[in-house]
Amino acid sequence: SPALAKPRAAFVTLRRGHELRGCIGFVEARHPLARAVVELARAAALEDLRFSPVDPEELPGITIEISVLTDPLPVGEPEEIEPGRDGLMVSRGPHRGLLLPQVAVEQGWDRWTLLDHCCLKAGLPANAWKDRQTEIRRFEADVFSEPEPAQDGPEKPRGPESGS
C-alpha cells in the first residue's frame, strides 16, 4: 500500500493477555510507516526499559497493537480534549509525557484525570497542566490490533479420532 511508504508517527504496544509487555514509539514521522512499525516492534520487545526483554517462548501469547498518530495540535483549553479520541503530549522544560488515546478508555479516565496522569508520566506534578508554561498537545490515532491469542493454546480436536 502506498500509505505504508509515507513517513508517519507511530507506536507499537505489546501485551500478554491484559498485561503490558512493551510500548515504544516515534512521536514524529521519522521513517516510512512500514519501516517504523518493524523497528518499533523490535524495540518494544527488547528495549522498553520498564520490562525485561520478551522471551521467544512468550511470542505465541503476545498481541501486537499499532497506533498510527496524526500530527499533534496545541491545546488552548482543556475542554478541547476528548478522552478516547485524543492522546496527549505534555511538556515543560526537559519533562515530557505521552499517553495514547486508548489509555483513557482502558482506564476509564475523564479529561481531568487524563491530564493529571500525562503530567505525572512526564515527571511533573499532577496539576502541572494548569500552568501556562506547560505545553499540551493532542493527537488522534488509527489503532490496529491482532486478535488476542487463546489463553490455553489452540483448541484440540475432539471426537473418535482424538481418543476423546
**Residue 150 is placed in which grid cell?**
487463546
Report the distance separating Cα 85 and Cα 119, nearest Å: 18
| Cβ proximity of 59 and 29 under 8 Å | no
For residue 155, what pLDDT is reported?
41
Residue indicated by cell numbers 499533534 = 72
Closest CA to 3 of 113, 144, 110, 122: 144
Report the distance separating Cα 98 and Cα 94, nearest Å: 13
- pTM confidence score: 0.83
For residue 1, what pLDDT is reported?
87
**Distant-in-sequence, close-in-space partners of 158: CB < 8 Å, separation ≥ 6:** 164
Q: Which amino acid type is present at position 141?
A: A
Backbone φ and ψ for 14, nearest 5 degrees, come out as: -110, 135
Q: Tens-of-pLDDT digits for all 164 residues of the chain?
A: 899 999 999 999 999 998 999 999 999 999 999 999 999 999 999 999 999 999 999 999 999 999 999 999 999 999 999 999 999 999 999 999 999 999 999 999 999 999 999 999 999 999 999 999 999 999 999 999 988 765 544 443 333 343 43
b/e string for 134-160 if b means 16 or more Cβ within 10 A? bebbbbbbeeeeeeeeeeeeeeeeeee
Report the distance separating Cα 150 and Cα 143, nearest Å: 21
C-alpha distance from residue 91 to each of 26, 79, 107, 129, 152 (Å): 16, 18, 22, 9, 43
For residue 48, what pLDDT is reported?
97
Q: Which amino acid type is present at position 45?
A: A
